[in-house]
Amino acid sequence: MKIQRVFFVSVLSLFVSMYTYPFLCAAEEPGTLLMKTIDSGLSVLKEPSLQGPEKVQERRKRLWEEISPIFNFNEMSKRALGLHWKKRTDTEKKEFVELFTNILKDAYIGKTDTYSGEKIVFLKEKQDEKKYATVQTKIITNTGTEVLVDYRMLSNDGKWTIYDVIIEGVSLVNNYRSQFNNILTKSSFADLIQKIKDKKG
């Protein structure tokens, strides 16, 4: 009788662990990590204590703290400069990463001020090799318009970070690369830096 019960419990626990194991492992998967970050970002936007125009700065700051760790700004800057990256010195690279991060921050954090209940849905994820992954998501606006957003992610010793965002087939990094390349073929790197600084002001 007792033997039977022990046997039953162990078989049951085996089954339970068999079914839950993939979910436990999935915590480290890029898609899960991304959706977790998005959810925490959305919860900041929805938080009642942070509503209203006078709380804008505080809300932006909280949101930035939530979502910035998942972005790999170094990699984004490197890719946005493309072939021009190699020719830059370390200090130039550092300054550029800082400026580019600020552009992205101003542009995309600012856009969340008009958040009005858009939903973000996970579609699927694809992992090429070990190091790269694409997570496909869909934004559904309250007018029913659907926007496809893909996140390209890169693993650094198991830590997944975003290095590109692709909205309806338009890669953010490629878009900046075209702009930077266009400027750099006509003028110098110093001019580019100046243009980015002017943009900020």
Q: Which residues bind other proteins (CB under 8 A)?
A: 78-79, 82-84, 103-104, 106-108, 111, 142-145, 168-171, 174-183, 185-186, 192, 195-196, 199
**Start-end of H helices in 54-147:** 56-67, 73-81, 90-111
Tokens 């979502």 sit on residue: 67
Smallest gap from Cβ 185 to other proteins, in A, equals 5
Report the nearest approach of other proteins to the CB of residue 82 (Å).
5
Q: Which residue number, 16 or 56, has a Cβ lying nearer to other proteins? A: 56
Q: Rounded to the nearest whole angstrom, what is the least distance from the CB of residue 107 to other proteins in the complex?
A: 3
Nearer to other proteins (CB atom), residue 66 or residue 164: 164
Least distance (Å) between residue 193 CB and other proteins: 11
Long-range own/partner contacts, residues 23-26 (CB < 8 A, 24 or more apart) = none
CB nearer to other proteins: pick between 35 and 183: 183
Q: Min. distance of Cβ 47 from other proteins in angstroms? A: 23
Give, in order, the Cα–Cα distances in Å from 199 to each of 43, 56, 160, 191. 31, 21, 31, 12
Between 32 and 177, CB nearer to other proteins: 177
Distance of alpha carbon 196 from alpha carbon 77, whole angstroms = 13
Of 137, 166, 172, 163, give the one whose Cα is nearest residue 32.
137
Strand ranges, E, within 99-185:
119-128, 132-140, 146-156, 159-167, 170-171
Question: Which of 90, 129 has the CB closer to other proteins?
Answer: 129
